[in-house]
Amino acid sequence: MTTPTVPTPQECSWYDYSCGFEYLVNEIEMLILGFFIDLMDGLAALFELIPVPEFVTKIPTYQLSDFFLYLTDILQVYEGCQIVMGAYLVRFLIRRIPFIG
């Protein structure tokens, strides 16, 4: 199944209203998406302005052994954690629905 492509204004005829409407909807979506991206960039910049506490800079760094990292890669711990956390999130959201949870 192929995805429909939005035609550019050069491909549309002047009397084809559906083509122009699809183009307008696409432009509105792009405008909203651009606003959302700018909002998220602003929030990221705001969080970057928060100073790091002094006790965090004094925490020593530790490195895991290569064998442990190899095992976590073989056992796909990263993907397993994503699945478990996603399941807990879905469970939490379902329990918030009245008459179901």
* pLDDT (tens digit per residue) in 22-80: 888 889 999 999 999 999 999 999 999 999 889 888 888 888 899 999 999 999 999 99
User: Could you tell me the pTM of the whole model?
Assistant: 0.42
The pLDDT of residue 57? 84
The pLDDT of residue 56? 85
Instruction: For tokens 């478990």, name the residue.
Output: 84
| Nearest Cα to Cα of residue 4 among 16, 22, 17 | 22
C-alpha 81/C-alpha 49 separation (Å) is 31
pLDDT of 6 > 70? The answer is no
Count of beta carbons in the 10 Å neighbourhood of residue 8: 9
Phi, psi of 84 (to 5 degrees): -65, -45
Instruction: For tokens 């939005």, name the residue.
Output: 6
The pLDDT of residue 40? 95
- The tokens describing 61, both together, are 């760094």
Residue pair 38/26 in contact by the 8 Å Cβ criterion: no
